[in-house]
Amino acid sequence: MEFSFLLLALSWITVLLQSNILLYLTGGRVLLRVNRLILPTLLLSSSLYLLLYGLDLWVTLPVVVYFIIGVTFNYGVQGNNFVDTFDASLYTDDPEMVAVILDSGVDVVPLKELRAADLLLDHDGLRYSLTYCLLCNTVHAYELPKVGGKYLEISSHGGSVLNGNKVLHDASGRYVWQQFTGEPISGSSEKLRELETKRILANFVQRIYPSARFYRGSRTPLSYYIYSALGRLVRSIPALRISKDRVDGRLPAKMPVAGIALLGKGAKAYPMSIFPPNRVTVLEDRIGDVDFCIVSDGVLVYAYYHTGLRFEEGLLHSDGESWSIDGKAVKADEDLSHLPVTSGAYWYMWSKFHPETEIWAS
């Protein structure tokens, strides 16, 4: 009887691991390699039970639950599936998009795709991983690293969490990075090279990025619904976070912020609420000895190594030169130079990784 109980316990533990319940509670990366053993462990324990004790609901149920979770809930990885046309009406219920800004063009991906799966994408030979952390509300695109001349396909499909944030790793689990910062955790000493991303609503896509490629996923409607509902749940409950550190009380924990961090200079957070919708806001600020302007249309947030910008007649102007809101030269010799901006991150996570961060004060 004791052995049968052990087999049952092993079956249920593997199911809990698969659904990431125990994984998220531990908040560690030690289970990266364990994940690959879940299915064989479950099948072995269940098969032994069936051989020794016969058919039993308590051992068949975890097998059924495992495969339901695997088909519907499991965080997967998908590849290129782009189309040339975009229909904003398809996204009225879930309109948030992510634009990846590349030298050779722009890729636009619905956020609902990233809630359910990481994407490994290729744009004219540039291979990158696009990921979203539901716990932090952050999107990051990283160029795939190379080891021994070969690309490492990194993603968060193992489901592991460290510092309250997903980790990215290769298939073996040997090389691991923090999703929020791109900093190496194990296997490598190199920080990931981040690509510029922007959060945007569907009805603005064709106006701002008319020549972009548009990603169209193929997951089940049930999968989209589940991850969307989970995102709303995480956003609505301030205490629902996988982080043991004390929360910086200067702002509400789940307040979305735009963050700028300059190496060796400092960091600053800008609550997204200071950027009213349907109006262009231009702010001048400084981090350390670096002066810059922040520009937002209430949807996108840009930062430029330039001061004295003003917005008039749909363009940014300064000293007789003009640029589009996204920094493209209209009547100027060159485009505006960007500062990296992390948009939409929850305050508790931004302040965790940037504990000395300042907050914009008007």
Average pLDDT, the chain: 82
Q: Where are the domains of the chain?
A: 2-72, 76-236, 256-359
pLDDT for the residue numbered 267: 96
Band (159; pLDDT cuts 50, 70, 90): low
Q: What is the mean pLDDT of residues 302-331?
A: 92
pLDDT for the residue numbered 66: 59
Residue 188 has pLDDT above 70, yes or no: yes
Residue 139 has pLDDT above 90, yes or no: yes
pLDDT for the residue numbered 291: 95
* CB neighbour burial string for 61-92, b if at least 16 within 10 angstroms, e if fewer: ebbebbeeeeeebbbebbeeeeeeebeeeebe
For strands 290-296 and 281-287, give the pairing. antiparallel
- The end-to-end CA distance of the chain, in Å, is 69
Sign of CA dihedral 275, 276, 280, 282: negative
* CB neighbour burial string for 223-243, b if at least 16 within 10 angstroms, e if fewer: bbeebbeebeebeeeeeebbb
Q: What does the pLDDT look like over 16-40, one tens digit per residue?
A: 555 444 444 544 444 444 455 555 6
pLDDT for the residue numbered 116: 81
DSSP 339: P
User: How many other C-beta atoms lie within 10 A of the C-beta of residue 159?
Assistant: 18
